[in-house]
Amino acid sequence: MNRFQDKTVIITGGAGGIGEAICRRFANEGAHVWIVDSNAELARGLAEDINQQGGHAAWREVNLASAADIFSFISELKSQTERIDVLINNAGINRRGALLELSEQDWQTTFSVNLDALFHMCRAVLPHMIAQGGGAIVNTASQWGLHPAPGHIAYNTSKAAVAAFTLNLARDYAPDKVRVNAVCPGEVRTPMLESNLARSGRSLDDLNALVPFGRIGEPAEIAAAIAFLASDEAPYLCGSLLEITGAQAVV
């Protein structure tokens, strides 16, 4: 499929885990991918690999907690391309703990990356999408933002805010033909998840046993859903929160 042939796609948090799978999916479908990440080494390596395989990718190290950095990046991008077709707000962090186990800095950092970055990116990109007659925005929320798991109050609350932000943005800008949706994944097998398992003493089999489908999700499966939401195959999907969980209930 070449649903995104020559389209410009921005992917935040694009250098690792789910983000890498998203970048590769869009590049494989013909997009000009901009990898935005705080890890310059990983972003550069991914862009080089995509380009060596015949795709089109560029990368930028952007401080997503800084409105100035975000607007500077979008200004630079607009000097190089006529359109911004798709924005994927995927960057996120997880500071674990119940309320009394969290520091104030944990709380503030979580919301800075998980929510404020969406606010600034969308404020920077929306005017261009409106001027060009439309576009697609897909945010990465979480199953835990809709059905909170214990011991993750900062992450859960920030992702609930991402879901609410998505619904509000969709309602306000649907008349401008800017479609805004979100995916809400459950557990996904990423390097971060596997390292957390190693620390906790739990195994991948333990997590798989909790999922009615028989296993947790794969990054490529989340990327496929995001690509569908951003594509012309979903022209009437706007304001949707798509849970991707294998029918798993949060326990």
Please identify every residue annotated as catalytic: 155
d(CA 102, CA 125) in angstroms, rounded, equals: 33
Residue indicated by tokens 């999408």: 129
Q: Letter for the amino acid at 139?
A: N
3-state secondary structure at position 166: helix
Q: What Å distances lie between residue 228 and 16, 59, 103, 122, CA to CA? A: 20, 23, 38, 20
Neighbours of 173 (CB within 10 A): 20
- Residues whose CB is less than 8 angstroms from the CB of residue 240 and which lie 6 or more positions away in sequence, other chains included: 181, 182, 229
Three-class DSSP labels, 132-172 = HCCEEEEEECCHHHHCCCCCEHHHHHHHHHHHHHHHHHHHH
Three-class DSSP labels, 117-129 = HHHHHHHHHHHHH
Number of C-alpha atoms within 13 angstroms, CB side, residue 138?
26
- Residues whose CB is less than 8 angstroms from the CB of residue 194 and which lie 6 or more positions away in sequence, other chains included: 204
